[in-house]
Structure 1
Amino acid sequence: MKKHLIFDLDGTLIDSAPSILHCFGLAFSTTHTPLKTELNNDVIGPPLMEALRRLSGSDDPALLHTLAAAFKQHYDTSGYLQSVVFDGVPAMLEQLQAAGYALYIATNKRFDPTEKIVAHLGWQSLFTGVYALDYFQPTLQCKADMVGQMVTDLVLDAEACVYIGDRLEDGLAADAHQMDFILVTWGYAGDVSRMKAHWQRCAQVQALPGMIATLAGGAQ
């Protein structure tokens, strides 16, 4: 039986792209740093430093530190408040919790703004745990490591878990730990073309509980 549902955040539960892209733009403009690639949804999802390397075309630690500080100043004070919840997500989460599942967030977003977003949305009671790469010390390098650390620390049976996200990285993280994965396509859905045959695919928020119930082996 499936008992634990692990959710990605950006592109899965919330649309944070406009606010993140705006804050990236401010970070580059206020530091007078030229963008080397287009600001679009492709930079939503990877860890902050990876996104900044891509956008700046640089591996210079000093420059990346400056850009990261500028981004955090904008996003962590007000930008995160602009995150928009996808239609139907609150009711879906409440339905899953009422059905007896334990809900978790596992995101590449830094822990500080993630925690602020969860509090701003009033979701603290919905989630058993909220995790980010920098929640752990030392900071983890990828989602596969994060999911593995969660399984170890929380003593979870991977067969009782489902990971739910919108990116190829999410599915590969689930595969790394023999965990079922559902690729949702109501968000950014940038990696649909790279979907693996054994993954489930869900196009509508309202359909997710039924799909999870099927994986769990019965109606919830």
Structure 2
Amino acid sequence: MQKYRHLLFDLDGTLADPSEGITKCIAYALEYFGIKTDNLDTLRSWIGPPIKDSLMQIYHFDEAQANLGVEKYRERFTDIGIYENRLFDGVQELLERLKDEGYSIYLATSKPTVFAQRIVEHFKIDTYFDFIGGAGLDDSRPTKGHVIQHVMEETNLSDPSQALMIGDRKYDIIGGQAFHMDTTGLLHGFGSRAELQSAGATYIFDNLAELKKELLFLNSF
């Protein structure tokens, strides 16, 4: 692994496990359309990509139906599902140490910025981020690539060779590659090793502890 200056972190499945809240909110939205979910675990694969895309791809919703589905999802998520969430072990210590080591740290999530901001504030990790970038409630920045572009533009990050995109799904890897960034896949989230390898992740680690060890080792030179 080479040395980097800028670290872009995904949120869901990378820094936090939102599976309870997201799956319950998806089930709530699907129920509105008469679709019953017997096992919430079957919805775990929805975590990562935009909900609208999943509704259109899995249930073949048209755009109007998908937009309504997102509205129903947010109806429960805004005040309930957003807090059915937990940080992975060691996240605060990781961010604090990386900040002390001089890294610039950005959040790049497909979750709307307004929700991402509330989540990191809830967990008291907001101060570690130089910028929090997410999707727009108005369907702007619909892909991870759009979010990464937004982060780069807002932070004047002009040299992607100095940046590392860190996530747990292929969308994080593909998004980083679109801007010629190296990418890291984490296996403690919702993507498999096969998914991350197939997407072309530059590095793959089992968890944040392994990533932390490598980044601190590189920064010691």
The two structures have a TM-score, normalised by structure 2, of 0.86
Q: 1:95 aligns with which of 94, 97, 121?
A: 97
Partner of 2:34: 33
Partner Cα separation in structure 2 for residue 159 and residue 148 of structure 1: 14
Output one character per residue of 1:91-124: Cα deviation in whole Å (capped at 9) or x when no partner.
1111111111111110111122111111111112
Flag the 1:127–1:178 CA change in 2: closer, same or farther, 3 A.
Answer: same
Report the CA distance between 1:13 and its aligned residue: 0.5
> Partner of 1:178 in structure 2?
180
Cα distance in 1 for residues equivalent to 2:13 and 2:116: 13
> Is 1:219 paired with 2:220?
yes
C-alpha distance 208-201 of structure 1, shift in aligned 2 (>3 A): same
For the 8 Å contact 2:48–2:171, the answer to whether it is kept is no
Residues 139-187 of structure 1: CA distance to partner in whole angstroms, max 9, x if unpaired?
A: 1232123212322332212111111001111111111112111111111
**Hey, what does 1:114 align to over in structure 2?**
116
Contact 1:107 1:143 in 2 (8 A): yes
CA contact (8 A) 2:27 2:37 kept: no
Runs of 5+ unmatched residues, structure 2: none
Matched residue SS, 1:187 = coil
1:49 aligned partner? 52
CA distance in 1, matches of 2:215, 2:181: 13
TM-score by length of 1: 0.87
Q: Which runs of 5+ in 1 are unaligned?
A: none
| Equivalent AA in structure 2 for residue 40 of structure 1 | L
Q: Which runs of 4+ in 1 moved over 3 A?
A: 35-39, 190-194
Q: CA deviation at 1:67?
A: 2.1
Identity fraction in percent: 23
For 1:116-131, what aligned pairs fall within 5 Å after superposition? 116-131=118-133
3-state DSSP class of the match of 2:124? coil
User: What is the aligned counterpart of 1:202 among 184, 205, 208?
Assistant: 205
